[in-house]
Structure 1
Amino acid sequence: MNESKGVRDAFDAIADPTRRRLIRLLAEEEEVPLHELTAQFDMGRTAVSKHLTILKEAGLVVDRKVGRETRFRLNAVPLREVQDWVAFYSKFWRTNMFRLEQLLEEEEE
């Protein structure tokens, strides 16, 4: 957790497979009630709520009350940082694969 801002890092939030699955479920629907999310997991409502809290702390999830029900939706903006980080390494691997390909072609000749 980033102590200076009191906000959780997106990388930390997506580190857990359950939270990545929650993100995927939320990406497929505009808004999902807690009970529907809980039904997708082999864990109780409290455990799912704890994962959602971590995602909320990272700014990845927004919730709202509708009567007695809490509904959640994805805010993918914080994932941009993750995408940018991965994009750097994609370039790294493309460059290195190109170099390897050249080396193999030279050895074949």
Structure 2
Amino acid sequence: MDETLDRTFAALCDPTRRALLARLGEQESLSVSELAQPFAISLPAIMKHLDVLSDAGLVAREKTGRTVACRLTARPMEQAMNWLNHYAQFWSDNLDRLAAFVEDDPWSTNLPSQPTPASPRAQASPSRGGSARGRKRSTPRGPIRKT
């Protein structure tokens, strides 16, 4: 099953292949040339994308005379959806527990209500930033130029 999932997700990682699947989802079956029509890439490039989709089992091709028709197959997507749903449930459960924990907020309800003390800096002597006496100079003052 892991190989099937790997191939499915590898096939789905390309936007052109996802667009091809979307087109096939609109109609039951399309010929390769009909499928390739709206894309601004060559027919051989479309064929390579279809090869990847076929190898992943997402698309089935059927040749009738000179026409190759493509249609969606559901099984690999069902497996991928089952895998995604399993992890969606995992994350949903964990996020629900986190939300419940945050909403309970045991830290704020267990503490007695006391005024918040001022920060240690605020309790220290007033700032000396404005007084010349408190500032240190890094270099001695040079001669004053007249302009």
TM-score by length of 1: 0.83
Could you say what secondary structure the match of 1:30 adopts? coil
2:31 equivalent in structure 1: 33
Alpha-carbon distance, 1:65 to partner: 1.9
Alpha-carbon distance, 1:39 to partner: 1.3
Counterpart residue type for residue 26 of structure 2: E
1:17 equivalent in structure 2: 15
State the superposition RMSD in angstroms: 1.8
Aligned counterparts of 1:92 and 1:64: Cα–Cα separation in 2: 40
Is residue 86 of structure 1 aligned with residue 81 of structure 2?
A: no
1:61 equivalent in structure 2: 59
RCO higher in 1 or 2 (8 Å CA, sep ≥ 6)?
Answer: 1
Alpha-carbon distance, 1:100 to partner: 2.1
Alpha-carbon distance, 1:77 to partner: 0.9
Could you say what secondary structure the match of 1:9 adopts? helix
More helix by share: 1
Aligned length: 103
Instruction: Flag structure 1 segments of 5+ consecutive residues without an equivalent.
Output: 3-7
Task: Work out which of the residue numbers 75, 78, 96 in structure 2 matches 1:77.
Answer: 75
Aligned counterparts of 1:76 and 1:42: Cα–Cα separation in 2: 27
Alpha-carbon distance, 1:68 to partner: 1.8
The worse-fitting range, judged by mean Cα deviation, of 60-69 and 29-38 is 60-69
Summarize deviations over 1:1-56 as a string: whole Å, max 9, x none. x6xxxxx8222222212112211211221100111111121211111110001111
Runs of 4+ in 1 over 6 A off after TM superposition: none
Rg larger in structure: 2
